[in-house]
Structure 1
């Protein structure tokens, strides 16, 4: 199964957020390795998505996933169809939140799509001290700050 899927949709560096965390647990749980999670981000935040991909590959990482980024233009009908298919197959969605998210039509469409398909959605600020506005599509949804512990708990909570 595909543990986590990545969607198009956020450019801030998150190294600082990770450096503020305590050491992640040494042992991975099998539960979050089996969840399929769609990551939505504004294209300007591709560096943050790439950082998450690299972090997930570390042995000590409390999470893992397969990078299935959608790299086609967001307004393309074919892209929307393919993206919806991927989202429907996921156990949950994590939206990488930054100052770019509010203006990202692609990320906001992905959030709407996940809600329409009944896929749980969680927002995750990529910068602890420089957070952007939360798009209205995430109203009433859980919002976390990107830390090892928060990410591990979030992945374990998605069923």
Structure 2
């Protein structure tokens, strides 16, 4: 049989296979604005932005979310170690783009945190929802300009559960 006499069934199977592979590749590499809001095993991917001096509160939030008593759960996608600024911004943007939302821990130190403020701007540029959350209920500081028009909540498990469920 010559090469020009290929079976139409094989050609159809080849085309369907190529379409399936193309769809998978598109889903992996599509832009963040086109990503569907699919939860990953029921958990939202959350980037936690915070002033470096407030790292202990980020750790506390992550630990509490892992508790069996927690009404919510999420994957912590925050940056765990320092890098040179150009590398940090690139890695940070990649992490933020892969998240369902950003929670900004707010304290008196947030105003002077250029890193946290850049992370908020980055999330907005990538169309990722941003929510501010005051660390201290009785010590609510002024809201930084980057959070203008964003939802800001007190540190409250029920409110946080509601926010995370909407990511």
- TM-score normalised by length of structure 1: 0.75
Select the residue among 39, 45, 48 that pairs with 1:39.
48
CA RMSD in angstroms comes to: 1.8
Q: Does residue 72 of structure 1 match 2:82?
A: yes
1:98 maps onto 2:91 in alignment:
no
Please report how far the alpha carbon of residue 65 of structure 1 lies from its aligned counterpart in structure 2 after TM superposition. 2.8
Q: Where does structure 2 lack aligned partners over 5 or more consecutive residues?
A: 1-38
Post-superposition, which runs of at least 4 consecutive aligned residues in structure 1 deviate over 4 A? none
The 3 A distance-change label for structure 1 pair 149 and 31 is: farther
In the TM superposition, 1:103-114 aligns within 5 A as 103-114=112-123
Larger radius of gyration: 2
| Higher relative contact order, structure no. (Cα contacts within 8 Å, ≥ 6 residues apart) | 1
Tell whether 2:89 aligns with 1:84: no
Offset from partner CA, 1:68-127 (integer Å, 9 cap, x none): 442215x61001000000001111111001111111000000000000001010100011
The 2-side partners of 1:112 and 1:32 are apart by 28
For 1:110 and 1:68, how far apart are their aligned partners in 2? 12
Q: What are the equivalent positions in structure 2 for 1:56-71 lying under 5 Å apart?
A: 56-70=65-79, 71=81
Higher share of residues assigned helix:
2
Aligned-residue offset at 1:63: 1.8
Corresponding residue pairs, total = 128
Runs of 5+ unmatched residues, structure 1? 1-29
- Aligned counterpart in structure 1 of residue 161 of structure 2, from 148, 152, 157: 152
Q: CA deviation at 1:34?
A: 2.4
Give, in whole Å, the separation in 2 of the partners of 1:117 and 1:92. 11
